[in-house]
Amino acid sequence: MTGLIHAPGPQGSIIELHAGQCDAGGNVRDYLLKSQHELDAISAFVSRGESVARESRDWMLAQADFIVEAVGDERLELTDETRSELLQMLLAIASLNEQIRSHAASHGL
């Protein structure tokens, strides 16, 4: 096993990536689907003008750390498509984080 990530959050995500097996199984695809669902839920809070819980922000940071680690790990044989999808998820996390930061700044939080 080359990586084990436990992401604390409302739904908590765990993904194990094994060198040479990342794209063969559904691990990365499942991870991306679950993470997108979680991001959508957090985004809905922001859209309604609600504050985002610290736990959710910690989850986002854990996902960003995971993606950077996975994309940079040469032992993992990620296809170009998977690498691209992971980077898109990273950009979505960064964008949502900026929305949260802007909301907090504008409301003095």
Helix, coil or strand: residue 52:
coil
In whole angstroms, what is the distance from residue 13 CA to residue 3 CA? Answer: 13
Please state the pTM of the whole predicted model: 0.75
Is the pLDDT at 4 greater than 70, yes or no? no
| Torsion angle, alpha carbons of 27, 30, 31, 32, to 10 | 130
Per-residue model confidence as pLDDT tens digits over 5-29: 333 444 444 344 544 444 444 688 8
Going by pLDDT thresholds of 50, 70 and 90, the confidence category of residue 3 is very low
Of 34, 69, 92, 91, the closest CA to residue 78 belongs to 69
Task: Report pLDDT digits (tens) over 57-73.
Answer: 999 999 999 999 989 98
Residues in the chain: 109
The CA distance from 45 to 48, in Å, is: 5
